[in-house]
A and B are shown apart, each in its own frame.
Chain A
């Protein structure tokens, strides 16, 4: 039997922040879509006494302001995935969204939940890194924004301050992008290794991020710097990918040996970069 808790559903952002800030650390859990939290609540080590639902807050939004896409933290992933403009301008994001569970799960799961829960295996965090997404926060002392790279601290650890909530996620510009993953069982397992690649049309630089390897999704800055053109030669991509896979600290777990994971990382890295390069070569 799952432990019981009190469900609190504040009617406003102010009330939600006040409620969260009033709780002792660990006493209040934040509920967005709940697909990760409720799974955890069946057998928690430290059960929360209260669960704070965000469902009444006006954050189920999707807005374009020129090139900037702002996604409200509680918008269901399925709504983002089904948006034609998002699909056209952020192909890698849509590939990553479709890697998350099944459709019924994506009708409730959210970007805010993926960030706030910070699971090492999240399929969305690598692509958020590759797209230089920013996290907009609101808390007792006001609003602030953090790049995803600074927001993520470790496995299940974030830079959220006490009383702070994730309001939205901002994507600064459309980018050719790709997200590729490998799993033992594709339809119902987490990714063993996943790679997101993107190239900024404004600064011309590549972003490569890797996920599925604890403690957290990371950018491969050294490898990025070695990719110096929109369509790097195959031999360069291969050698950069292999070198990146050799350098990243990778541990074995029940989903794969260290050696196999390094092999996957090099292979997915190479394919993701080629996919993005291919779209640059063919398009504007």
Chain B
């Protein structure tokens, strides 16, 4: 593997991992696991899009981590538990970071890949190994949920009032 080529993508991998995990140590662990796996599996890489290949490896490593924590990967968290983040903190970025972590991991991935890496739906579909339609629906549900969390719009499911 041309090491320099891979090194060139480490900043991209770190940015995405930071947003995905919401924690800089966990993010660099994810990047390190991804790179180690990439080195081991390099024989399987066919010359082409190295960035896409690295991100798809990171996706697999991330899924395994999520599963190990017994969090459902592709379903939304119980909306009744995840109350909208109050916007009154005045810190847009902090609110956004908190809201991101409340998205289902599968939605978070799609929202971030599209936003941060400027990828097309097709690219993301190939990277994640899912149909384009799935990418689009995860994106729209993820974005909708982010709006709800940030702007306090009523969620689709009515909130239960617990005394």
Indicate whether A and B interact: no
On A, residues with C-beta under 8 Å from B are none
